[in-house]
């Protein structure tokens, strides 16, 4: 059995990586016009601008991370009990709950966002970071619940009963029995939840009303304005955290994990 990718797979891998090449190159290019295969000059101007306080890219990075962090934390708090319920219990109405959990994934993202804006407007949640983080729960929560229900489906509750019968308090059980067993799955769920929030564009644009300038909004603005060099630099800043997450989770990330579906949504 060959250990090297065949020509088809090799070509595919190159094709998958290709779109990143001009972006990274543009970020250090100055003057790169048809028909030049390589830029005339190299320059760090775009990076100097992107990393300057003026551009707000670093602020956008912090903001995007804060929103993703909040959405992740919220989805874990809500998703852990829900995942436990779906993973461990058979009950009437389960199918309906599963449909509701899956519905946001199976419905185009644009379906709920305008209505949500109308819902948030009188509550003062539009144009706010909190409102955007809350809205991100729509795409994030289904994946978190799916992953966590998978984690709990393989979880044996008998250890909890044994610990309780040996006199452990509920908190001790949680800390010394439940948590060690579910920890790997929870970490994966958290990382994926983070990435789902990380890549939201339309939801942030509509609910944030342009006031919440996350990285994808800044990227779109510069791409739309034709500044390929600055666009390239922001794109590199934007994709690095995701790649880092992948380095940490690559081994766990197989098609069996429901979280896979969450990437890039």
Mark the segment that binds another protein (CB under 8 A) among 16-24, 159-167, 171-179, 180-188: 16-24
Q: Which of 159, 160, 164, 242 binds another protein (CB under 8 A)?
A: 242
Which window, 90-98, 154-162, 170-178, 179-187, contacts another protein (CB under 8 A)? 90-98
In the complex, the smallest distance separating the C-beta of residue 201 from another protein, rounded to whole angstroms, is 5
User: Sign of the CA dihedral 218, 250, 142, 101?
Assistant: positive
Least distance from another protein to the Cβ atom of residue 172, Å: 20
Interatomic CA distance for residues 239 and 230, integer angstroms = 14
DSSP 259: G
41 bridge partner residues: 30
Our measurement of the distance from residue 232's CA atom to the centroid of its chain's CA atoms, rounded to an integer in Å, reads 21
Q: Does 95 bind another protein (CB under 8 A)?
A: no
Q: How far apart are the C-alpha atoms of 131 and 144, rounded to whole Å?
A: 20
- Return the residues of window 108-167 that contact another protein according to CB under 8 A: 108-116, 118-119, 121-122, 124, 126-127, 134-135, 137-138, 141-142, 145
Q: Is 92 helix (H, G, I), strand (E, B) or coil?
A: coil
**211-230 binders of another protein (CB under 8 A):** 211, 213, 216, 218-230
Q: Which of 54, 95, 165, 167 binds another protein (CB under 8 A)?
A: 54
Could you please report the per-residue DSSP string of 9-49? Answer: HHHHHHHHHTTHHHHHHHTTEE---TT-SS-SEE-SHHHHH
Q: Smallest gap, in angstroms, from Cβ of residue 61 to another protein?
A: 14
Q: Interface with another protein includes 91 (CB under 8 A)?
A: yes
């Amino acid at each position: 059995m060959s250990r090297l990718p065949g020509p088809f797979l090799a070509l595919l891998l190159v094709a998958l990586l290709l779109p990143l090449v001009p972006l990274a190159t543009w970020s250090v290019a100055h003057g790169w016009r048809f028909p030049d295969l390589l830029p005339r000059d190299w320059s760090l101007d775009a990076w100097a601008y992107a990393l300057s306080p003026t551009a707000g890219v670093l602020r956008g990075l912090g903001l995007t991370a804060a929103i993703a962090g909040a959405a992740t934390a919220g989805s874990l708090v809500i998703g852990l009990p829900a995942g436990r319920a779906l993973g461990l219990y058979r009950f009437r109405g389960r199918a309906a709950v599963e449909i509701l959990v899956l519905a946001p994934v199976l419905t185009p993202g644009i379906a709920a966002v305008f209505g949500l804006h109308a819902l948030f407007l009188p509550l003062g949640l539009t144009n706010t970071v909190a409102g955007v983080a809350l809205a991100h729960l729509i795409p994030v929560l289904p994946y978190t619940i799916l992953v966590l229900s998978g984690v709990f489906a393989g979880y044996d509750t008998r250890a909890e009963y044994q610990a309780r019968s040996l006199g452990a308090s509920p908190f001790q059980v949680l800390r010394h029995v439940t948590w060690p067993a579910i920890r790997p799955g929870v970490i994966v769920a958290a990382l994926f939840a983070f990435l789902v929030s990380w890549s939201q564009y339309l939801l942030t644009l509509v609910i944030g009303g342009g006031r919440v300038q996350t990285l994808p909004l800044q990227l779109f603005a510069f791409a739309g304005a034709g500044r390929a060099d600055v666009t390239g630099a922001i794109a590199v800043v934007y994709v690095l955290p995701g790649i880092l997450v992948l380095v940490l989770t690559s081994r766990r990330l197989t098609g069996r994990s429901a979280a896979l579906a969450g990437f890039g949504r």
